[in-house]
Homo-oligomer: A and B are copies of this chain.
Amino acid sequence: MGLRADYVTRPREWIASILAREPRFLSAAQIHQGLERDGARVSLSTVYRTLDRLQAKGDITVRPDADGEVTYMLCEPRHHHHHAICRTCGRVEDVDCAAMEQFAESLRAHNGFELDGHAIEFFGKCGACR
């Protein structure tokens, strides 16, 4: 059942460490560049495979950006919350909100829409970039 095995390897540790220190969505290519900058030689294929694995485990959030490039961030989508994304530096801050849930409820009543999920993204500038 589930994954047959789960080896701890250098490439996986390196990739995890890149993700762990970047509070923003990164593309596979960006992660790969980060690895090279750290002197860690890892193939792009491995980056993709590791990201797939992390996604399957529910450890990362996947987000296709505006032009279709897929980006990844260490962030469990398990517990429902939203993101505030800085337009300048890309920094992501978590936003969780009961108010939003309330709003979703009211929508259910108005339209004949049986709601079972929603996704929100806020854009603007974070404290550091302002």
Of A13-21, A30-38, A115-123, the segment with at least 4 beta carbons within 8 Å of chain B is: A115-123
6 sampled A-B residue pairs with Cβ under 8 A: A64-B64, A64-B65, A111-B127, A112-B130, A114-B126, A117-B122
Quote the shortest CB–CB distance from A100 to chain B (angstroms).
6
Q: Which residues of A contact B (CB under 8 A)?
A: 62, 64-70, 84, 87, 93, 95, 97, 99-100, 103-104, 106-108, 111-127, 130
Quote the shortest CB–CB distance from A121 to chain B (angstroms).
5
- Indicate which residue in B69, B93, B114, B121 contacts A111 across the interface (CB closer than 8 Å): B93
Q: Which residues of B contact A107 (CB under 8 A)?
A: 84, 95, 97, 122
Q: Which residues of B contact A65 (CB under 8 A)?
A: 64
Q: Which residues of B contact A122 (CB under 8 A)?
A: 104, 107, 113, 115, 117-118
